[in-house]
Structure 1
Amino acid sequence: MLLLPTLITFVLGISLLTTSTANPRQSVKKWDPNGCALVLCRPAENGLPGRDGRDGKEGPKGEKGSQGLQGLKGSQGPPGKMGPAGPVGGTGSQEKKGLKGDIGSRGVQGVPGLKGDPGNAGLSGPKGDKGSPGDKGVKGERGLQGATGLQGQPGIAGSPGPKGDKSTVGEKGAKGDKGDRGLQGSSGLQGPKGQIGSPGLKGDKGSVGEKGTKGDSGLSEVSLLKKQVSALEEQLKALQSSFSKYKKVIMFPNGRTVGQKIFTTSGYEGSFNDLKKMCSEAGGQLASPQNAAENAAIHQIVVSHKKQVFLGITDIQTEGQFKYLNGQTLVYSNWQTGEPNNANGVEDCVEVSSTGKWNDKSCDEKRLIVCEF
């Protein structure tokens, strides 16, 4: 049925081409409802409409045309909306464990890794049981002699040994030859004059010795000795003068000198026993005045430091009987009125107050140290 409109169109088109040169016509295109195009030809002037070809006979069926070329692929459309999630599948049945596979070939050794940080030291293990003693080893050969070591420090002197038995007197040796006279040495400093010793027992008369050779005249040596003694006396005076200056420097401002005694303080304060120990370790003793001049020197130290001092005087041995530290009885005292009174029964030591007077005090109190040398 579709071939008829196509055939009519084809025929009309040929007619239009054969008559177009003699009498130009206008063509009117119309679209058939079945999708075919109809071409109607008419004269240029408005004439009567011609008959359509729908009443014509149906032409023969044409042969099937060859398949046309495939059209171009259309562009991909936008993605569709995501569909709803499907139901959760049931748990599958567990299959039996398969057989263990064969051991694969050893792979290529990897590059050694970097050395790790040292681990923390582990706890020490329990002490092992004592092992059985091993067999005695073969005696080794004697080694080479080592180098001589450094000389050690001298050891501490040992305590003196017991006194040995008195040996018998040996026989008198033969008289030796007379030696050459040595060079005269330089004269030493003159020592202090010693105390006169007790006269010894009269000795037995000795045997007469051999006559000696005649000596040189000693007049020149005597004059030389006189000159040396005179020079030593001058040096001694200079030394005494220098010593006097140095003693004054040492005493200033914490010391005083009275005769052959020196009284000095370091400014330390302590109990009687502490002060006594410190003075003893320094080679002296606590100040122990034996006359008014020595007490005045101690008083000057009290005033300059504005502190009382303990004296080396106590009645610890016998209550009420004050004595020096060596146990001797006092040869001088300067008690304040009403003292000593042994208040509370504990005042066994003596202090010098700011007035220079003495007062008994407890030995546990702290006072300024004044040592006597």
Structure 2
Amino acid sequence: MLPFLSFLLLDVVTASYTEPVTEGAQSTCSSPGLNGLPGKDGHDGIKGEKGDPGQGLRDLQGPPGNAGSAGSGPKGAEGPKGAEGPRGAVGPKGDRGERVECEFRKINAEIAGLQSELRGFKKWVLFSTSEQVGKKYFVNTGKTLSFNAVKCSQFHASVATPRNPEENRALQKVAKDIAYLGIIDNKTQNRFLDLAGNRVQYTNWNAGEPNDTNNEEGCVVLLLNGRWNDDVHCHDSFLAV
């Protein structure tokens, strides 16, 4: 832009010097010319090389991001059981409530033991006063009841029915009184049955028995001499064995 301006000024100055001067006229000075218009911008130069990285401080690390969602893969196999850990230290001594509970447990255990001994003693007394024939035990209950009451009693045994002379003698020895036998006189069938409904095979009737004097279903009792009598009403009370 400067060379162009110089050229323009020079041209103006040259013109001012070549202007003719009229004789007798006063000399005048010319004013400087106006600046010219600015020139056009030139083309961009070639891009320079990349500069060296700056030497500023590195910024601080940002906070950790949110945890990701759980994966959808299959559950892995269960690992082997670990070794048993060491035994822990002995705990503090319990309070009075625990000691009382412990004492109650001991007392209950002692009571259960005494009850067991008592049951054993009762069995010993029972069987020491009984008579055994084979696998049977003939026991005197010490109670006089009607026949139906004997059948429904809680002796956990059946009314005695001797099957042979040995059992009949054992029953006589235990009873020591008139006692019911587990035999019923079935008048409709004219035969004697045990409590299971089976016909009695062994009998030991007293003289003149059975005589069917009651003409109705009756019960059979064991007499003091070991013989049997069928002339008994089942509602009468006799010893239960």
Larger radius of gyration: 1
| TM-score, L = length of structure 1 | 0.30
Whose relative contact order is higher, 1 or 2, with alpha carbons under 8 Å and at least 6 apart? Answer: 2
Greater fraction of residues in helix: 2
Instruction: Provide TM-score, normalisation by structure 2.
Output: 0.46
